[in-house]
Amino acid sequence: MREPKFESVREMMLAMMSTTLTQIVATNARADELVQAAHESADPSLAAAMQDHGRRYRIEVLELQGRLATLSGDYTRRFHAEI
């Protein structure tokens, strides 16, 4: 089996980290919007549902941050000698 080119692995990892960071920002913004809308809602059941979804997005952000930390650590270990 052919080994991937060194630069292609580096580029792939950088792209994955960039995509993950973009997902973190977008998901966090969705959570903020839902929580804000929940505070402004006059309907308690709708507000509770929006807060619940907001919490789920916050959990997803934490999971994505963990994934980014892992990718970043792997990238540093793999390419540190070149920095």
Convert the pLDDT of each residue in 26-53 to its tens digit.
999 999 999 999 999 999 999 999 999 9
Q: Model-level pTM greater than 0.85? A: no
3-state secondary structure of 79: helix
All residues at 6 or more sequence positions from 75 whose CB lies less than 8 Å from its CB, including other chains? 10, 13, 14, 17
Q: Where are the beta strands (DSSP E) in 18-69?
A: none
pLDDT digits 0-9 by tens, 1-12 = 565 555 688 899
Ranges of each domain in the chain: 29-76
Alpha-carbon span 70 to 73, nearest angstrom: 5
